[in-house]
Amino acid sequence: MLAGARAALAEVFGFQDFRPGQEAVVASLLAGRDTLAVMPTGAGKSLCFQLPAVIDDGLTVVVSPLIALMDDQVRGLRLQGVAAGALHSGRSREDNAETWRDAMAGRLRLLYAAPERLMLDGVMDGLSRIRLSRIVVDEAHCISRWGHAFRPEYLALPKLRARFPGVPVAAFTATADAPTRRDIVEILCGGDAAEFVFGFDRPNLTIRIAEKRDPLRQVLAILDDHRGQSGIVYRLSRKSVEETAADLVRQGYTALPYHAGMPAEVRAENQDRFVSEDGIVMVATIAFGMGIDKPDVRFVVHVDLPSSVEAYYQEIGRAGRDGLPSTVTMLYGLADIRQRRRFIDESDAPEEQRRVEHQRLNALLGVCETTECRRRALLRTFGEELEKPCGNCDVCLEPPEVLDGTVPAQKVLSAILRTGSRFGSGHIIDVLTGHMNDAIEQYGHDSLPTFGVGSEFDKNGWRSVVRQLVATGVVDIDTTGYGALQLGPRGRAVLKGEETVGLRRPSAAKTRRRRGDGA
């Protein structure tokens, strides 16, 4: 069967070989299995269903939300001698009628259709009278209510399964996070499908995630390594974009701001300069980057925590498109986690969606606090397994020292409980390090048994510990008030000693030195 596929690959499509992963997806489709394939844009998704369509006898129906894309594919297929047609509102009534007649007469291998057209009674009736080899849903993430690409027309698609129960469904998308994958398999494939995820690795990117200590200085250190090169510095707010851009200009860099609050002409001008000139540092909110094709972006810095692994991955993906070595660095701290949580809690999305958004954030925090290869952890959140550590991330290059953090975690938890779960990290750390302040005096917290028990770390060390505990669900941060620490989902178990906690060792000496020369 796959020998036939290889022959068709060469004869029909003119390709020497499969790209990584394509063969496995093709085999799954040819075996008639419900399949979900997740591959980034440009990885070669369409071949994965076009090739089986050419080999199998019946008609392959391809649902797609994008008219231009359907037309492109149909044109390409016809040039290769494959009978294909499309039904959508962008074509004349006569053209659609002709395509439909061809499909009904068995003259087409592939029929592309916009979802609303496919679901018409007449179309469904017609399709039920001919032999279908499979139904392909392209851009399948449009079915997920969690995504930003949600399309109401896609909601009708599960009916296909009821209407054509024996016909396998193959879903394709470039969006890979776990909630979206679950949704797609649930809604389109009745809960069970062969899943393939590949092609997300970008080995030329050196991935670094670091504790945010003195962001401007940290950014300058990165820029210093990339003098004369182009890069993007992402910031969360418009105000911080303006401030950082001004700071960098003061330091002698050609830095331009970019955010949605700027006049359109200025934005366009800054973007043009970034694309056409060398050595420009674009300081931007996430409004920047979509559709920008600049192959030699050598660095991307996230000064603030992104919203999810997907957002992060998309943003770092703008570096090193030419395949040459590039660095991507994220800085983050406890305040970032708190802010992200608050954004989610304060949004007016339904509760279920907010829960998923918290899960998404947790997946990113897992990558931030991992003590294994970052690239591995990152790709795993997409469902892709990297066989061995990458050797090109901060964890691989400078492995962190991991210590048993169970006792420090218990100290933090007990300080939280004994102070009534009403105080923020600054206060809790003062209690642990035995540092007097007005509030401690006022509440008599200096007489607590936990007062001053935290001599193993200095304040910065404890900050790192608390951040790691929040990131891993041992401690929670209240987003409604001023950031009170509370027991997280894992808190009780850790306190009782039922669960252990691994921590990256906060380096006290380094912390002090950096703080000292930071001014």
Strand partners of residue 329? 208, 301
- Tokens representing 23 are 């063969």
Grouping H, G, I as helix, E, B as strand and the rest as coil, residue 170 is: strand
- Of 74-82, 169-177, 367-375, 445-453, the segment contacting Zn ion by CB under 5 A is 367-375
- Of 165-173, 255-263, 390-398, 502-510, the segment contacting Zn ion by CB under 5 A is 390-398
Grouping H, G, I as helix, E, B as strand and the rest as coil, residue 59 is: strand
Beta-carbon contacts of 401 under 8 Å, excluding residues fewer than 6 positions away, are 504, 505
- Tokens representing 52 are 């089986």
One of 41, 89, 276, 442 touching ligand ADP (CB under 6 A): 41
Comparing CB distances to ligand ADP, the nearer of 46 and 410 is: 46
Site residues (CB under 6 A) for ligand ADP, limited to 45-74: 45-47
- In angstroms, what is the C-alpha Rg of the chain? 27
- Distance separating alpha carbons of residues 353 and 368, to the nearest angstrom: 23
Comparing CB distances to Zn ion, the nearer of 341 and 376 is: 376
Phi then psi dihedrals of residue 295, to 5 deg? -70, -25
Q: Residues binding ligand ADP: what is the number (CB under 6 A)? A: 12
Minimum distance from CB of 25 to ligand ADP (Å)?
11
Question: CB neighbours (10 Å) of residue 225?
Answer: 11
Grouping H, G, I as helix, E, B as strand and the rest as coil, residue 389 is: coil
The item of ligand ADP, Zn ion, none sharing an interface with residue 5, based on CB under 5 to 8 Å by kind, is: none
Cα three-residue angle 68-70-73, rounded to 5 degrees? 110
The item of ligand ADP, Zn ion, none sharing an interface with residue 47, based on CB under 5 to 8 Å by kind, is: ligand ADP
**Crossing angle between the packed helical segments 215-225 and 238-250, to the nearest 10 degrees:** 60
The gap from C-alpha 434 to its chain's centroid, in whole angstroms, comes to 41
Minimum distance from CB of 439 to ligand ADP (Å)?
56
- Distance separating alpha carbons of residues 303 and 301, to the nearest angstrom: 6
Question: CB neighbours (10 Å) of residue 516?
Answer: 8
Comparing CB distances to ligand ADP, the nearer of 46 and 419 is: 46
One of 5, 18, 207, 408 touching ligand ADP (CB under 6 A): 18
Minimum distance from CB of 24 to ligand ADP (Å)?
13
Minimum distance from CB of 23 to ligand ADP (Å)?
9
- Of 39-47, 189-197, 301-309, 480-488, the segment contacting ligand ADP by CB under 6 A is 39-47
Comparing CB distances to Zn ion, the nearer of 241 and 396 is: 396
Q: Are 4 and 26 in contact (CB under 8 A)?
A: no
Binding-residue pattern over the window 182 to 221 for ligand ADP, x denoting contact by CB under 6 A = ----------------------------------------
Phi then psi dihedrals of residue 258, to 5 deg? -155, 115
One of 32, 44, 333, 473 touching ligand ADP (CB under 6 A): 44
Minimum distance from CB of 9 to ligand ADP (Å)?
7
Q: Give CA separation, 464 vs 163, 334, 425, in Å.
A: 55, 8, 11
- Tokens representing 4 are 């036939």
The item of Zn ion, ligand ADP, none sharing an interface with residue 175, based on CB under 5 to 8 Å by kind, is: none
One of 294, 375, 380, 463 touching Zn ion (CB under 5 A): 375
Minimum distance from CB of 43 to ligand ADP (Å)?
5
The verdict on 15 binding ligand ADP (CB under 6 A) reads yes
Minimum distance from CB of 12 to ligand ADP (Å)?
12
- Distance separating alpha carbons of residues 291 and 363, to the nearest angstrom: 26
Q: Give CA separation, 31 vs 1, 2, 18, 23, 37, in Å.
A: 9, 10, 18, 12, 15
The item of ligand ADP, Zn ion, none sharing an interface with residue 410, based on CB under 5 to 8 Å by kind, is: none
Residue ranges that bind Zn ion, judged by CB under 5 A? 373, 375, 389-390, 393, 396
Residue ranges that bind ligand ADP, judged by CB under 6 A? 15, 18-19, 22, 39, 41-47
